[in-house]
A and B are shown apart, each in its own frame.
Chain A
């Protein structure tokens, strides 16, 4: 039964909002600006997080890079030699899934008439266990390749296509230049590189085609590597294992742990998250102020509206409107006004972010919860700031109201 009044009140609210279009719009402006800035900043934050998460996932969340940290004071013995790597492998057998020099060799490859710039990444057997590698043909580099220092290579599909005009090239050989020597490498496999489009975008134009070779093959045993690529087993803490490795290697090399740097995405992720969170807090504060101003605008215009409609309120009371009927009428009107502002603000905010996202081609994340929250919050503002004017209208004496000119 009460529904009748609700429905009528919503109709009345829309009528009076539409009757003063310009005024309603100006009143809503505060809420529109507040809500649209909240929505856009929240979704910029979410989108940024999304992009960063994609990048971290590509890199590997349990991945770390250990490198010689102190460039100003280093000795050739600080580098990682094959024997060091073997020692580390043995010592951290359980805690590390994978450890391998982090290095790649670039070479021009000429095959028939095509010239391709090839980037050969040094990997260990089992790389495909820690990173997703989609094999198209043949096999991946395995541990016997490492042991035997096999002259083999696994090409990325595009490299194969550019060199041979087809991608099934297992069994063919290519000639590459490694350490100033020309080497013939047997192609044992072809894979397809799968990378998030964001990362591709951020890396920009890549002139080199990708491939994998056994890390033991290119250099002699007295070659020192600058950095190591490490994957930590899931149940161990990235940080603690890092400290252990640094301590171990420092002791081995007669150095301090500060001579080595251990980099993980976890740290970076924490940093980015704290930036995003900090930004959100700052924006929330600004939004709160603009919504407060918007709310005061609504209160102001509702007071004007109540005064203008004093006589109407008197008539309605004379005809049987109770205090709460009048209260609800005006509360619904201010809630409708601010909810409309919230909806317009949400649409504007999303529109702006999508437009921006379109121009820098970054996927935009819009959290549906934030939309619902924004509109609900706008409505609450309307009810909160509309309460005083509505109460004033509801409590007016019908005789005074009828006499009002």
Chain B
């Protein structure tokens, strides 16, 4: 069966003036449905670049990236928007909620672009906010929430269109230890329910929640290991 994510000989080169920076060098990875993967590495290791490419926000310089069998670098900008909308749920370090827009509307946003009807949107958003324990905060504005609460709203938003992949970029980077733990437990739970989670982090404590850890250094994978006893959730 086809893998969810299949990356072959992928390279990314940034040009800043006359200097070329090789952010990714000939990287190949496969990630399957139901996996909980942590991508680790120091800053500048290329993990964020990979994250952007997996999230269809950026394109590789060379190599191939297939997401559910779709060759991503052949798609137009608007097609990529559609793919991000349907297939990827983003969770960012800085939460990235829309300011001046209440919690409910924030969660509804991906469904607006998916052209879900208003009533359905509302119901789905309420359901998700219930799941992350914020049902009593639906009319609050993002700046009225704590960091942990913001990140839970972001997770609810990421789940809105029921995407196969949750892509979390340092989701606990701006949180205290307790909130970080709560958030990671939500990810664990989501993975148990069948979501595939790709987590980018530099903290080993956070990476421990994942079943598979891929280490990056200078644009190359230096380690790709699974936790003992874990083969594949779907296997």
Contacts and interface: CB of A to CB of B under 8 A. Distances in A.
Chain B binds chain A: yes
A318 B161 CA distance: 13
Nearest to B161: A320
A312 interface: yes
A16 B100 CA distance: 8
A318 B157 contact: no
Given A4-B112, A402-B92, A318 B55 contact: yes
B78 A322 contact: yes
B57 to A, nearest CB: 5
Interface in A289-311: 311
A316 B112 CA distance: 11
A5 B112 contact: yes
A312 B112 contact: no
Contact of B84 (A1, A2, A8, A318): A318
B96 A311 contact: yes
- Say what secondary structure dominates the interface of chain A: helix
Contacts of B84: 317-320
Interface string B157-183: 100010000000000000000000000
Given A399-B58, A402-B92, A321 B113 contact: yes
B70 interface: no
B183 to A, nearest CB: 19
Contacts of B98: 312, 315-316
B81 A5 contact: no
B100 A19 contact: yes
B118 interface: yes
A316 B78 contact: no
Nearest to A317: B81
A111 interface: no
B90 A312 contact: no
Given A320-B84, A402-B92, A325 B113 contact: yes
Contact of A320 (B52, B81, B92): B81
B58 A1 contact: no
A323 interface: yes
Contact of A315 (B55, B96, B161): B96
A361 interface: no
Interface in B110-129: 110, 112-118
Contact of A402 (B78, B96, B113): B96
A341 interface: no
A15 interface: yes
A318 B90 contact: yes
A4 B115 contact: yes
Interface in A262-317: 311-312, 314-317
A398 interface: yes
30 contacts: A4-B112, A4-B116, A4-B118, A5-B112, A5-B113, A15-B100, A19-B100, A314-B96, A315-B96, A316-B98, A317-B81, A317-B84, A318-B57, A319-B84, A319-B85, A320-B82, A320-B84, A320-B85, A320-B86, A320-B161, A322-B77, A322-B78, A322-B81, A322-B82, A322-B113, A323-B77, A325-B81, A399-B57, A399-B58, A402-B92
Interface of A: 1-2, 4-5, 8, 15-16, 19, 311-312, 314-325, 398-399, 402
Given A19-B100, A311-B96, A319-B113, 11 more contacts: A4-B115, A4-B116, A15-B100, A312-B99, A317-B81, A317-B84, A318-B57, A318-B90, A319-B85, A322-B78, A322-B81
